[in-house]
Amino acid sequence: MAERPARTFRKDIAKPERFVITLELVPGEQSKGRSVDTVMAIAESALADGRVSAVSITDNPGGHPSLSPDVLGRDIIRKGMDVIVHFTCRDQNRVGLESRALQLGHMGIRNILALTGDFSGDGFAGRGAPVFDLDSVSLLVMLKMMGEGTLASDDRENFFVGCAVSPFKLTEEEGFCQYAKMRKKVKSSARFIVTQLGYDISKFHELLCIQREWNMQTPTLGSVYVLTPGAAKIMAKGRIPGVVVTPELLKKVQGEWQDKKEGHRAAVERSARLAVVLKGLGYKGAHFGGINHHFDTLSQILDRMEKIEGRWRDFVPEFDFPQENGFYRYTRDPETGLCGTELSPSTSRISSGEKMLFGVYREVHRTFFSHDALFSTLYRNLCGRLEKRPFGYLFTKTLEDITKKMLFSCWECGDCSLQHLAFFCPESQCPKHARNGPCGGSRESRCEVHPDRHCVWFKAYRRWAAIDRPDKIYQGFIPPRNWELDRTSSWINFHLCKDHQGSPSLTDPTDPKS
């Protein structure tokens, strides 16, 4: 097992007076050579500098193969630098994820950033199969249970687990769903939060305001990136899920880099100013990216921050790059240019026909699929008899399949969660099968993987908001799909308490009683 660094990220983030600095490293596809040497050299320089609390290592960013962050993390920890490993759900099922967590514990890697992950990219012989057996919330619950020793008889893993949030969303629906999922993540065990990247300071401030509104005190690090024209162009095209660079900012960066020396100076200055503004707003730290060649760039940023942090309010107007027609949860304060205290009026709407249909779905569900329903005992006895009779079971299953395929595009998972998602199917309508909230990859309300259609959580929010219950988005933990029930009748499974609603194998971490 690797030795722990003398100074750790966990200790630093617990110090009230400390503004934490972390640095994101992106491994290449090689197992050795220049890219690995560069990553290791940056980590060693960060350790020598003394101002960086930890380096974080990405996990196959963009879904493309790269050197495992676990291997690099082990080598970096051995040199004395603390590490945060990105841990995604894209490539392994729950068994593989648990095995990887055990491996990290054995290696002495305790800091984990739990992520759903980007959709699968190209690998050997084409696109890899996306797994997404768990989402980031259920991954957090799994890691929490490992920490408590409840997934093993005698062992506890001392993980320090964080999560990500994407506040830079265009629509009311996307933004609220991101914050709602963040709330679930924190209740599920997240000890720190890292934002996605953007340059709209009102959105950075909005995140802090909603945390205060919901009484969340989890330390939050804002992402800061050293923008070059190449990186800014990729981000502006939406090719990095959750990241927002507006056309105006792209044009500004391209103009600055007409002269490379001036461009570098401007990038350093912008990064330093954004970081001190984040500190002034109340963020616990800054998470730096875009340091791809030499640590000297980050050293220059940190030096500059020390000189200008007292002037952070002067720099707030420089980070006013909103998306066109973007929604903000709070009205704008004209004096500060930041969020005020008044809530903005909702803009979310559905048609009267859809609202009526949603009401029908809810009434049918209350009548036939509630353990508190008037005839629940009768339903249970009937399902018990049907299960024992092959023809009766086949008839019920066929009727269910025809009905639910026609209405909900059902995939016959046997562990139905339609009611949690406002009667949209997360299996068929979300490529990542997200049962606890959206991933961070939607863009202008459109799905990251299928941009020709709306994100299913966007549609679910609209239905809940139409009946003044948007809080339904963050209520309750939905366990991952039980694959033992695949291709069986979810109707019978529900009434015989075989699914996640009737026979919960996990306590709900969002329930104060748990």
Question: Is residue 20, in this structure, part of any structural domain at all?
Answer: yes
Indicate if 278 and 325 belong to the same structural domain. yes
3-state secondary structure 6-74: CCCHHHHHCCCCCCEEEEEECCCCCCCCHHHHHHHHHHHHHHHHCCCCEEEECCCHHHCCCCCHHHHHH
Indicate if 273 and 211 belong to the same structural domain. yes
> What's the pLDDT score for residue 243?
95
User: From residue 317, how far is each of 110, 170, 199, 322 by CA, in Å?
Assistant: 38, 20, 11, 12
Question: Is residue 512, in this structure, part of any structural domain at all?
Answer: no
How many Å apart are CA 317 and CA 200, to the nearest integer?
10
Q: What is the mean pLDDT of each run of 10 residues along the chain (514 residues)?
A: 69 96 87 77 95 94 82 94 96 95 93 93 82 96 90 78 97 97 96 97 98 96 97 94 96 97 97 98 97 95 97 96 96 92 94 97 95 93 96 96 96 95 96 95 94 96 96 93 96 95 64 52
Last residue of a domain, one of 310, 341, 372: 341
Closest CA to 474 of 150, 213, 132: 213
How many Å apart are CA 202 and CA 242, to the nearest integer?
16
How many Å apart are CA 55 and CA 51, to the nearest integer?
11
Closest CA to 437 of 47, 173, 119: 173
Indicate if 458 and 329 belong to the same structural domain. no
Indicate if 247 and 366 belong to the same structural domain. no
Indicate if 330 and 429 belong to the same structural domain. no
The two structure tokens encoding residue 58: 């990405």
Question: Is residue 514, in this structure, part of any structural domain at all?
Answer: no
Closest CA to 174 of 158, 154, 196, 153: 196
Q: Tell me how many domains the chain contains.
A: 2
What residues make up the domain containing 66? 9-341
- Secondary structure E strands in 156-213: 160-165, 192-195
Dihedral pair phi/psi, residue 248, rounded to 5°:
-65, -45
Question: Is residue 507, in this structure, part of any structural domain at all?
Answer: no
Indicate if 327 and 370 belong to the same structural domain. no
Last residue of a domain, one of 284, 310, 341: 341
How many Å apart are CA 208 and CA 221, to the nearest integer?
11
- Taking residue 186's Cβ as centre, other Cβ atoms within 10 Å add up to 23
Give the H/E segment covering residue 340: strand 339-343
Closest CA to 414 of 476, 326, 490, 480: 490
Indicate if 257 and 366 belong to the same structural domain. no
How many Å apart are CA 438 and CA 378, to the nearest integer?
37
Q: What angle do CA 357, 362, 364 make, to 5 degrees?
A: 95
> What's the pLDDT score for residue 34?
65
The two structure tokens encoding residue 287: 């998470």
DSSP β-bridge partners for residue 168: none
Indicate if 54 and 172 belong to the same structural domain. yes
Supply the CATH number for residue 22's domain.
3.20.20.220
Indicate if 333 and 229 belong to the same structural domain. yes
- How many residues does this entry show for the chain? 514
How many Å apart are CA 30 and CA 186, to the nearest integer?
35
Question: Is residue 508, in this structure, part of any structural domain at all?
Answer: no
> What's the pLDDT score for residue 6?
61
> What's the pLDDT score for residue 514?
47
User: From residue 247, how far is each of 50, 234, 250 by CA, in Å?
Assistant: 37, 11, 5
Question: Is residue 108, in this structure, part of any structural domain at all?
Answer: yes
DSSP β-bridge partners for residue 200: 320
Helix (H, G, I), strand (E, B) or coil at 509: coil
The two structure tokens encoding residue 218: 């989890």
The two structure tokens encoding residue 89: 């759900």
How many Å apart are CA 311 and CA 164, to the nearest integer?
28
What is the pLDDT of the chain when averaged over all its residues? 93
Q: Is 259 exposed, middle or buried (0-12, 13-18, 19+ CB in 10 A)?
A: exposed
The two structure tokens encoding residue 395: 């008839």
Per-residue pLDDT tens for 293-324?
899 999 999 999 999 999 999 999 999 999 99
> What's the pLDDT score for residue 218?
97
Indicate if 156 and 298 belong to the same structural domain. yes
Question: Is residue 513, in this structure, part of any structural domain at all?
Answer: no
Indicate if 154 and 277 belong to the same structural domain. yes
The two structure tokens encoding residue 359: 């009401």
Question: Is residue 3, in this structure, part of any structural domain at all?
Answer: no
How many Å apart are CA 487 and CA 503, to the nearest integer?
18
Residue with tokens 């707003």: 281
Per-residue pLDDT tens for 416-427?
999 999 999 999
- Are 129 and 89 a contacting pair, CB within 8 Å? no
Indicate if 124 and 248 belong to the same structural domain. yes
Per-residue pLDDT tens for 17-63?
999 999 999 987 666 556 788 999 999 999 999 999 999 999 988 77
Residues 6+ apart with CB under 8 A from 79: 40, 43, 44, 47
Closest CA to 281 of 212, 358, 350: 212
Last residue of a domain, one of 318, 341, 364: 341
The two structure tokens encoding residue 354: 């859809």
